[in-house]
């Protein structure tokens, strides 16, 4: 029996993305140029940053006039009040304020530091990157464009880097997807001892995102990876399915 194997291929050669760029074209051409062309069944993993750039979601800080709260928090933390205002506008609520960090809930339902607003690797000073308006929709557009131009059925996962409660360091998670189901339930299946599983539900979308991060190192200018050989469940999933509903949250 052939042992299970998954291959992760970083895609080099993608130029600095600008607003309006055709990501599907850039990804396909770069993959071909390094002699790892896309194949049916691949998962195309793309960072939030390049999608935000292509969609014009990198914006000047001067677009954000700070509110009194933003100015107060900036004075207390030494941060730019305009960037804090950007965080507030991208949030539906502030979950926690501590040690100079705003933990917020984004409009997409994600709980994360600073609503995903980031000033690194954005192409200049006084700019910030905002999360895409509809990460799942962005992934569907990319998946459909690849299908149209290559005839290949692939899945797409958009990643962002999140911290984790009770653990140091950050890891990539899925904030958008298309062409695959994000979760896999083992409820009702017997384990190796014959006990019925009741709550075991891995999240392949997040596992793919984290694995792809191994070749998409932040300073390596590799914003795309191909995950090949993973038997994902095809379907029209959504990263919103991964977000635990408030009523089931143990730490609201």
pLDDT of the residue at 230: 96
Q: Which pLDDT band holds residue 197 (cuts at 50, 70, 90)?
A: low
Q: Which pLDDT band holds residue 218 (cuts at 50, 70, 90)?
A: confident
Q: For the segment 28-58, what is each residue's pLDDT rounded down to a tens digit?
A: 999 999 999 999 999 999 999 999 999 999 9
Of 10-14, 19-23, 73-77, least confident by mean pLDDT is 73-77
Which is more confidently placed, 221 or 214? 214
pLDDT of the residue at 187: 67
Whole-angstrom distance, CA of residue 146 vs CA of residue 32: 13
pLDDT of the residue at 125: 82
Q: Is 235 left (phi over 0), alpha (psi -120 to 50) or beta?
A: left
Look up the CATH number of domain 59-128. Answer: 3.90.1660.10
- Average pLDDT for residues 224-230, to the nearest whole number? 98
Whole-angstrom distance, CA of residue 37 vs CA of residue 23: 15
Whole-angstrom distance, CA of residue 212 vs CA of residue 155: 14
Q: What are phi and psi of 64, to 5 degrees?
A: -115, 105
> What is the domain partition of the chain in residue ranges?
7-57+132-245, 59-128
pLDDT of the residue at 245: 84
Q: What are phi and psi of 126, to 5 degrees?
A: 60, 30
Q: For the segment 79-136, what is each residue's pLDDT rounded down to a tens digit?
A: 999 999 999 999 999 999 888 889 999 999 999 999 999 988 887 789 999 999 999 9
Is the pLDDT at 190 greater than 90? The verdict is no
pLDDT of the residue at 250: 74
Is the pLDDT at 249 greater than 80? The verdict is no
pLDDT of the residue at 98: 83
Look up the CATH number of domain 7-57+132-245. Answer: 3.30.1330.100
């Amino acid at each position: 029996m052939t042992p299970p194997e998954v291959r992760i291929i970083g895609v080099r050669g993608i130029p600095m993305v600008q607003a309006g760029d055709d990501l599907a074209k850039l990804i396909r051409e770069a993959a071909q140029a390094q002699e790892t062309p896309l194949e049916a069944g691949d998962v195309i993993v793309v960072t939030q940053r390049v999608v935000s750039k292509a969609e014009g979601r990198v914006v000047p800080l001067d677009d954000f006039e700070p509110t009194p709260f933003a100015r107060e928090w900036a004075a207390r933390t030494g941060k730019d009040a305009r960037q804090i205002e950007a965080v507030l506008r991208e949030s539906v609520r502030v979950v926690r304020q501590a040690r100079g960090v705003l933990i917020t809930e984004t409009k997409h339902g994600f709980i994360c530091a600073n609503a995903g607003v980031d000033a690194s690797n954005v192409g200049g000073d006084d700019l910030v990157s905002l999360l895409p308006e509809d990460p799942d929709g962005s992934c569907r557009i990319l998946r459909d464009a690849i299908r149209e131009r290559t005839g290949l059925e692939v899945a797409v996962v958009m990643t962002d880097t999140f911290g984790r409660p009770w653990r140091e360091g950050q890891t990539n998670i899925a904030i958008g997807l298309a062409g695959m189901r994000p979760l896999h339930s083992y409820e009702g299946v017997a384990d190796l001892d014959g006990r019925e599983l009741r709550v075991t539900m891995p999240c392949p979308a997040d596992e793919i995102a984290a694995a792809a991060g191994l070749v998409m190192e932040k300073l390596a200018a590799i914003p795309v990876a191909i995950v090949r050989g993973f038997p994902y469940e095809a379907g029209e999933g959504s990263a919103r399915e991964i977000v635990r509903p408030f009523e089931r949250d143990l730490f609201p």
